[in-house]
């Protein structure tokens, strides 16, 4: 105990009792490096006490009474006159206590570390888990409601959907032919670059797709590609991923999204580029829809260079036996925006 070298020859007299009921004896107490040695007046050793196991029975009182830890029956009494010995014992005992292992502190550190790890995992895992759960439980009617709210915001920029009463049945026929009853087609006079999709199943088309091409297979191809994008990733998931954790929580608990969230998503729909789809997936979808890929491919790239895979893999190079629309319906559809 190098901090207390000045005490290594320190001695004092005291009264020692070996056990309860025995008479106290006058002894000499010697302070060692890590122990107290108690000897009788003839310098015969009576006992050694480890300082690490030394307890004081009456802190702050005099005479000071000490005993070995766990054996309060054996006592050593030091009078107030043994000032230097008392100070040395107390100081040495404090040093020992500081160096003693602190199980409680280690437990606290481990507990706090575990809590930090759990909190970090929750922070990283919770948003994704909440998003997935929200997407899985939101009913179709709520998805449709969100899609309608987005459409109302989009039309502030694009203008109201085209709805010529003579052409509307042709649009519905195309929707039924390509998508069944799952989704609806909406033609907009502007806003969207080509196509986009909304929660609830609505697919938006720019009027140019029905007005600028001679073949109904071209807009039909864009519709199939957009439906495939919606199938590859749930549009509600896309919205919530962009909106963040609190939007998912709000939708799950209150069944609504803030106007600001809807405005931001409407802007993303109008400005974000369409996601690319591998040619193999497109060909499979066109095959299922009994639709040629070549007209769609050349509409995307008149040179055909970047869409050569779609041209060469056309499932119906000689034409499908299931037309997208009759000639009369196609002509009507081309005038849906009054063109």
Q: What are phi and psi of 196, to 5 degrees?
A: -155, 165
| pLDDT value, residue 129 | 83
| pLDDT value, residue 260 | 95
| pLDDT value, residue 327 | 94
Q: What is the pLDDT of residues 150-165, one digit of tens each?
A: 999 999 999 999 989 9
For the full predicted model, state whether its pTM sits above 0.85: no
**Residue 112, SS3?**
helix
The CA distance from 26 to 226, in Å, is 101
What would the mean pLDDT of 5-28 be, rounded to a whole number? 81
Write a three-state SS string for 297-336: HHHHCCCCCCCHHHHHCCCCCCCCCCCCCCHHHHHHHCCC
The CA distance from 173 to 115, in Å, is 59
Q: What is the pLDDT of residues 239-254, one digit of tens each?
A: 999 888 889 889 988 9
Tokens 């107490």: give the residue: 29
Q: Are strands 184-188 and 202-206 parallel, antiparallel or unpaired?
A: parallel
| pLDDT value, residue 120 | 56
Q: Per-residue confidence at 6, pLDDT binned at 50, 70, 90?
A: low
The CA distance from 231 to 201, in Å, is 10
Q: What is the pLDDT of residues 125-141, one digit of tens each?
A: 567 888 888 889 999 99
Q: What is the pLDDT of residues 253-284, one digit of tens each?
A: 899 999 999 999 999 999 999 999 999 999 99
| pLDDT value, residue 258 | 95
The CA distance from 271 to 171, in Å, is 25
Q: What is the pLDDT of residues 21-55, one digit of tens each?
A: 888 889 888 887 777 888 888 888 888 888 777 88
The CA distance from 100 to 31, in Å, is 20
E-assigned strands of the chain?
A: 11-17, 25-31, 35-39, 45-50, 54-56, 64-68, 75-78, 184-188, 195-197, 202-206
The runs of H, that is alpha helices, within 159-232 are: 168-179, 208-211, 217-232
Taking all residues of the chain, what is their mean pLDDT, rounded to a whole number? 87
Residue 63, preceding peptide bond in cis (omega within 30° of 0): yes
Q: Which two tokens stand for residue 324?
A: 């997208």
């Amino acid at each position: 105990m190098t901090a207390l070298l000045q005490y290594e020859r320190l001695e004092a007299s005291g009264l020692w009792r070996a056990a309860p009921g025995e008479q106290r004896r006058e002894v000499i107490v010697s302070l060692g490096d890590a122990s107290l040695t108690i000897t009788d007046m003839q310098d015969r050793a009576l006992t050694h006490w480890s300082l690490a196991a030394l307890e004081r029975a009456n802190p702050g009182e005099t005479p000071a009474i000490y005993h070995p830890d766990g054996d309060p029956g054996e006592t050593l009494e030091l009078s107030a006159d043994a000032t230097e010995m008392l100070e040395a014992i107390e100081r040495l005992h404090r040093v020992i206590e500081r160096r003693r292992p602190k199980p409680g502190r280690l437990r606290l550190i481990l507990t706090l570390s575990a809590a930090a790890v759990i909190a970090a995992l929750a922070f990283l895992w919770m948003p994704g888990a909440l998003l997935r759960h929200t997407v899985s439980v939101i009913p179709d009617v709520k998805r449709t409601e969100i899609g309608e709210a987005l459409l109302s915001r989009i039309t502030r920029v694009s203008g109201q959907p085209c709805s010529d009463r003579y052409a509307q049945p042709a649009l519905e026929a195309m929707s039924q032919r390509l998508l069944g009853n799952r989704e609806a087609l909406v033609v907009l006079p502007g806003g969207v670059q080509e196509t986009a999709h909304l929660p609830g199943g609505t697919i938006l088309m720019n009027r140019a797709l029905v007005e600028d091409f001679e073949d109904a297979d071209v807009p039909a191809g864009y519709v199939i590609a957009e439906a495939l994008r919606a199938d590859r990733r749930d549009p509600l998931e896309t919205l919530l991923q962009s909106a963040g954790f609190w939007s998912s929580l709000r939708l799950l608990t209150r069944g609504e999204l803030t106007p600001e969230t809807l405005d931001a998503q409407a802007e993303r729909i109008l400005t974000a580029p369409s996601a690319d789809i591998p040619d193999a997936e497109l060909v499979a979808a066109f095959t299922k829809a009994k639709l040629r890929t070549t007209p769609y491919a050349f509409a995307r790239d008149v040179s055909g260079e970047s869409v050569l895979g779609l041209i060469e893999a056309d499932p119906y190079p000689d034409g499908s036996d299931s037309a997208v629309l009759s000639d009369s319906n196609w002509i009507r559809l081309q005038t849906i925006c009054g063109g």
